[in-house]
Each structure stands twice: as C-alpha cells, then as structure tokens.
Amino acid sequence: MHSDPKQCLYCTNTFQNLMIEIGHLRVSRVFLFKEQTYHGRCLVAYDGHVNDLNELNDQQRNDFMADVAQVTRAMQKAFNPEKINYGAYSDKLSHLHFHLAPKYVDGPDYGGVFQMNPGKVYLSDAEYDEMIALIKKNL
C-alpha cells in the first residue's frame, strides 16, 4: 500500500489529536503519544514520505535507525522501563515510522504485544510537558 502524502497525518501535520511533537533529529521527527498506557511511549517518523524501510538507501536507513536508537536511549534514561518494544506497522498509514512502547514488569501487557491505542491513560498538559522535558534532556 502506498499512501498519498496529501492525506498523511505526518506530512500534513494533522497528528495533534494523537501525539505531541518533541523535536527533529537527523532524518526524523520525534513525538510523545498522548495515550500513555505505556508510560513514556514515543514515535519516530521519517522526514520524507517513504512507505517502507526498504525504500531508503543505506545512509538514510542508518541515519533513521540511529534516530530510533537515540530516542530509545533517552526513554531508557528518562523512564527506566524494563524493555522498550518496537513496532513498525504501516498497514493503514504507509509512512515510515516506529512506535516505541516502554514496558514495565508489573505494567500493562508485559510479556505480550502492546496495544496500538488502548485509550485508557491521558495526562494533563503539565504532565506531558514534564515528560517531554525529561526526554529532551536525555536526547
């Protein structure tokens, strides 16, 4: 599936109901998910409208994966999860992005697959700001 950039939430900047933009790295943008069942959950989206990781040349892929690793390191330092799960699902929105879901031993879905949008945990603006500051401090 190849999506139209004119209808892509990343390309059209229509993600505000789902995520808060944290910043820009080498070749990607970093977002904090508003739904925080998985405390500290972030997303890294490639800058250009690319449908799949295999469409990138070696340098672009390496830069993108370096961005993903940089964000997970920041998440690890900021929130100390037991593990961070990676998800690269693009069945319905074909724009290269990775979901980064921290998992905690006694937390939701530990030992299993994280839910895409459980719709259970939303925070105050101040709490989102605090999380973003922690991530930025460690990026």
Residue 54 structure tokens: 């295999």
Task: Tell me what the mean pLDDT of segment 55-81 comes to.
Answer: 98
Q: How confident is the model at residue 1 (pLDDT cuts 50, 70, 90)?
A: low
State the Cα–Cα distance between residues 55 and 62, nearest whole angstrom: 12
The full set of domains in the chain, from first to last, is 5-138 (3.30.428.10)
Q: How confident is the model at residue 4 (pLDDT cuts 50, 70, 90)?
A: confident
pTM: 0.93
Residue 35 structure tokens: 């739904």
State the Cα–Cα distance between residues 49 and 27, nearest whole angstrom: 12
State the Cα–Cα distance between residues 12 and 118, nearest whole angstrom: 25
- pLDDT for residue 46 is more than 60: yes
